[in-house]
Structure 1
Amino acid sequence: MDYLWLKAAHVAAVLTFTSGLLVQAFGVAVAARGGTEALDLISRWDRRVTAPAMVTAWLTGAVVASQGAWFSFHWLWVKLGIAVFLSGLHGMQSGRLRRLRWGDRSNETSPFLIPALIAFSVTAIAILAVAKPR
């Protein structure tokens, strides 16, 4: 596959994953406060769109990094560490959504903490990917 098309597919997958992660975070925050109407919809969206986008982002990202020969650069490893954090956060939020669907309302967090962490992480990844600091 042409490098630019592969990179475009990676960016599209990352945008889809990131937006799904934010929807998931706000859905968890709303459901934890009793607004459970959208839980099924958010869970289905997560399984059908957000999770496949995450997998696609990882696969295309690995190929792009390999083609760019970037695995020896520190910025890529920092970026990968942040990506691992976001993937883990996705798993934690998926579990939280599942527990909320079962009626568990414990472990409330600030409705702005997780979205702020996501925004900060994605901003850091974007800076690292574009500037590629040495």
Structure 2
Amino acid sequence: MDYLWLKAIHIAAVITWIGGMLIVAVTTTAFSAVAQCQTDTGRVAFFAQIRRWDRSITTPAMLTVWAFGLALAVTGQWFSQPWLSVKIALVLVLSALHGVLSGGLRRLALGQQPYGVATIRYAAAGIIGIVVAVVVLVVLKPF
């Protein structure tokens, strides 16, 4: 596949993945602070819809990011570059955070308090900070 197509698909998947993670982070943070929605049925339906989005859009976007990102690294022969190692570590953190958020969303849908409430509370800021760091690494390739 052409390098520019790999890059375009990778960037589109990144935007979709990060957008989905931010939706889950903000939603989970907002509702973990609130004991109940107006009704149990309303809460379950709300979280079922958000979980459906996470499973059908956000998670496949994350997998696409990994597949096309690794393809770009192979095509660009960047595996010996230190900046790529740092980027991969940061993307691993984002992937783990996605798992924490998905688990928190699942628990909220069951009417339970999510694990790692402190982590979830600062997830949106962490996501944005990591994305900024990754963009700086990719654009500047500082080392």
2-structure distance, mates of 1:12, 1:53: 9
1:117-132 equivalences in 2 (<5 Å): 117-132=126-141
Q: What amino acid sits opposite 2:98 in the alignment?
A: H
Unaligned runs of at least 5 residues, structure 1: none
Q: What amino acid sits opposite 1:69 in the alignment?
A: Q
> What is aligned with 2:68?
60
SS of 1:38's equivalent? helix
Alpha-carbon displacement from aligned partner over 1:42-83 (angstroms, at most 9, x marks no partner):
101000000000000000000000000000000000000000
Give the structure-1-normalised TM-score: 0.93
Q: Contact 1:27/1:38 (CA < 8 Å) preserved in 2?
A: no
Q: What amino acid sits opposite 2:95 in the alignment?
A: S
Deviation at 1:105, TM superposition (A): 2.1
> What is aligned with 2:20?
20
2-structure distance, mates of 1:3, 1:106: 41
Unaligned runs of at least 5 residues, structure 2: 38-42
Deviation at 1:133, TM superposition (A): 1.1
Greater mean alpha carbon deviation, residues 83-92 or residues 109-118: 109-118
Q: Contact 1:28/1:97 (CA < 8 Å) preserved in 2?
A: yes
Greater mean alpha carbon deviation, residues 107-116 or residues 22-31: 107-116
Paired residues, what number?
Answer: 134
2-structure distance, mates of 1:42, 1:132: 36
2-structure distance, mates of 1:110, 1:83: 17
Identity over aligned pairs, percent: 43
Question: Residue 86 in 1 paired to residue 94 in 2?
Answer: yes
Seen in structure 2, the aligned counterparts of structure 1 residues 78 and 111 have a Cα distance that, compared at 3 Å, is closer
Give the structure-2-normalised TM-score: 0.88
Q: 1:38 aligns with which of 46, 56, 76?
A: 46
Seen in structure 2, the aligned counterparts of structure 1 residues 15 and 106 have a Cα distance that, compared at 3 Å, is closer
Which structure has the larger Rg over C-alpha atoms?
Answer: 2
